Structure formats: C-alpha cells, structure tokens
Amino acid sequence: MFNRIPLSSSMTEVEKILEKPLFTKDDLIHLLISSGKDRLALFEKAKKTKADYLGKKVYFRGLIEYSNYCKKNCYYCGIRAGNNHFARYRMSDEEVLEAVQYAWENNYASIVIQAGEQTNKPYISKIESLLKRIYIQTKGQIHVTLSLGEQSEDTYKRWLDAGAHRYLLRIEVSSMDLYKKLHPDNRAHDYQQRLEALRTLRKTGYQVGTGVMIGLPFQTIPDLADDLIFFRDFDIDMAGMGPYIEHADTPLYKFRDSLLPLLERFDLSLKMVAILRIMMKNINIAATTAMQTIDKQGREKALMVGANVIMPNLTPVKYRQDYLLYENKPCLDEDAQECKSCLEARIHIAGDVIGYGEWGDSQHFSDRKPGGN
Ligand code: SAH
Ligand code: SF4
C-alpha cells in the first residue's frame, strides 16, 4: 500500500517537479526553461502520459480553409482585413462537399472548417446550410469542428443544431495586457469578449478547444506559464498551440528583430505541448501546421511528446496561396491524397497509429459529468 518510491536527493529540480500532481506557476517556468537531461525527462514523461491515458491513436481532422475574408485586423495575421496584397476567396458549396466526401471516403471521420471571421446574416445562414448538407451527405458519420471566430450565442446554437460538434477558438494569449498589444483597441478585438465567447461555446454544448501562439513579440516565459494555467482553469477539451511566425504584411513585422529564433520558438512549442499533456491527460492536443513550418518533422515531434490530433489539409490547392496566416506555410502544392500518404508514413515513424473511422472525440469532454460543465 505504501510502496511509493521515495524521491531521491540526487534528482534534479525538474525531475522533482515532474513527480508532482499539480504544477505551480514557478514549476511551469522551470519546465519551460528546462534544457539537456531535464528537457528530455519532460518529453519522456509526456510521452508516457499519452501512452498510459490515450494509447497510440492519432486522429485525423481534414482541414478545410473555407474562406479568407475576415473583418478583423489582428496585428499578427496575414489574412487580416487590412492586408490587400492577395485575392480573397470563399469556397463554393460543391468544393466544400467534395472535400468532405474525400474525408469520408478515406475514413477521416472528422473535419475542421476554418475561416477568417465574418458575422453577417447571409454568412451565418450559409454555414448553417452547409452543415446540414454535410450531415445528409455523410449520414451524420462525419464529426465537424468549426473554427470561425467569435459569434453570438444564437449563431453558435444554430450551427450546433445544424450538425457541428466541436469549436476551436484560440484565446491567442491569456494575458489581457498582452492581448491589447497584439490587437487594435476596439470592440471587435476585445479580450473579455473573446473569453465570453469561449464560455458561451462551453454553455452551448460544444467540445471546446482553445490555444495560444508561442514566441510572440512582448511575450514572456511567465506569460506562457499563465497560458497553461488558463487551460487548466478553463478545463478545456482540446488545445491547438503553435509558434508565432511573422508575416511581412502585418503590423507586428517591425518587431521581428526582437523575436526568439525560430528553432527556439519551436522548442518552446514542443515544451508547451508536453507540459499540457502531463497537466491535462485526456484532452485532445493538435500537432499544428505552424510546427511543421519551422521543422519539417515538427508535427511528428509534437506527436512524440503528447499531441494526438493532426489536421491534413483538404483545401483545394488553388486557394492555399491565399490562406497564408503566416509565411512559409508548408504543403502549398500538395493535394489531399499526397498529404495523406505523406502523413501516414510520418505518423508511422513517430510510432503511432491512425484512428481511421473513429471520431476521436475528446475523452475529457466525455468524462465530464453531465451538467458538470
Ligand atoms: N479567424 C478565426 C480562425 C482562423 S485564424 C480565429 O481567429 O479564431 C486561426 C489561427 O491562426 C488564429 O487563432 C491564430 O492563433 C493563428 N495565427 C494567425 N496568425 C498567425 C501567425 N502569424 N503565426 C502563427 N499563427 C497565427
Ligand atoms: Fe481574422 Fe482570425 Fe486572422 Fe484575426 S487571426 S485576422 S480573426 S483570420
């Protein structure tokens, strides 16, 4: 009964932290700046946590970058309304349904529809009708994640009723002060409103995912520790985090000389994934495309330290050049089939298996007591 291994005095500070059931902010800072043997101990623990709680399954979410029209002007984003150096597009219904059909026939079981933010009535109805058509076409067998920004409670409800299941809305940074530095100062870019949107999504019944960018101008290691605490306190079901990558046509570009080198941003992102996996054992964590932008094997590396979701791109190749949230996005010329074959091999190398035909819902969401959210 009392067979716990005593903590040896030769253990490093980080190794002792990794044994704790709950991390403090100081602990998180130590983990985020760990290096050498300590860093490897963190990755090892995250890998074991994933294996113990979720096994080796990795779930595919076919990513459909539906439209690059956006009414907002986030200072970091390449498709912000103020950037007119590229063509705006919206996929036709047929193009969306074709991508969905591809996902369905290839047993993906799940798709993500992402776009810039629009809130006009015709757009809301368009998404609603698309969701209904997807439901009919796939006999309700495809689970849909939306990533369409901040919307009203009524809109979130309509889309849920029309067939959506999950929603991704990154808080971007959990510090209100930092949020203000990265967005224009107006109602459309209000930190409290974004937080409220996350609460509304939870209340409406979605599996809720959020996340942050890592390595932004002005962002500190304590800020990232606070982000992790935010995820725990909010009790999120899913996370999508990745390195910030500068884009020349954005206001933040002028701070590029103050940024961490790309490889350090990548390493910090890996650590964020690993720590979050240890903190929240049964949530879904995505190996994001931005990680692959910095390191060709970035997503596989994320899978090896705790991520369990990957998003093969199903956007028609002709639109990809125009959905550049950041520069050097990978796979701009790979169609869905090439993308799939490449990923299968990569996941295999990472030692995982693909959960084809499985929805791969957040176990955390299912484990939450009814009414307890
Ligand atoms: N408009 C929606 C969804 C599309 S943007 C929304 O904002 O929620 C999806 C994500 O891209 C954003 O949440 C942001 O975290 C990320 N992103 C935008 N610009 C980026 C950049 N320069 N580097 C890395 N990620 C970026
Ligand atoms: Fe629009 Fe999203 Fe980019 Fe902000 S991050 S400008 S809301 S697409």
Cα pseudo-dihedral 116, 119, 125, 126, rounded to 10: -20
Domain boundaries, the chain: 23-372
Query: What digits encode the pLDDT tens for the residues 307-363?
Result: 999 999 999 999 998 898 888 887 777 777 777 777 777 787 777 888 877 778 888
371 pLDDT band, cuts 50/70/90, is very low
The residue with tokens 């692959």 is: 292
Query: What digits encode the pLDDT tens for the residues 14-73?
Result: 999 999 999 999 999 999 999 999 999 999 999 999 999 999 889 999 999 999 999 999
What's the gap between Cα 291 and its chain centre?
A: 11
CB 289 within 8 A of CB 310: no
Q: Which ligand has the nearest atom to the CA of 79?
A: 2
Write out the two tokens for 358.
Answer: 């499985």
Residues in the chain: 373
Q: Please say if the pLDDT value at position 6 is more than 80.
A: no
Does the Cβ of 144 fall within 6 Å of ligand 1? no
- Which pTM was predicted? 0.94
Report d(CA 37, CA 13) in Å as an integer: 11
Q: Which of 72, 151, 212 to mutate to test the pocket of ligand 2 (most atoms within 8 A of CB)?
A: 72
pLDDT for res 362: 82
| Three-state secondary-structure class, residue 275 | helix
CATH number, span 23-372 = 3.20.20.70
What's the half-sphere exposure (Cβ side, CA atoms, 13 Å) at 151? 29
pLDDT for res 4: 56
Q: Please say if the pLDDT value at position 372 is more than 60.
A: no
The predicted model gives 230-245 an average pLDDT of 97
Q: Which among 324, 315, 219, 208 is positioned nearest to 265, based on CA atoms?
A: 219
Does the Cβ of 80 fall within 6 Å of ligand 2? yes
Residue nearest to atom 11 of ligand 1 (CA): 325
pLDDT for res 274: 98
Query: What digits encode the pLDDT tens for the residues 256-295?
Result: 999 999 999 999 999 999 999 999 999 999 999 999 999 9
Query: What digits encode the pLDDT tens for the residues 99-139?
Result: 999 999 988 889 999 999 999 999 999 999 999 999 999 99
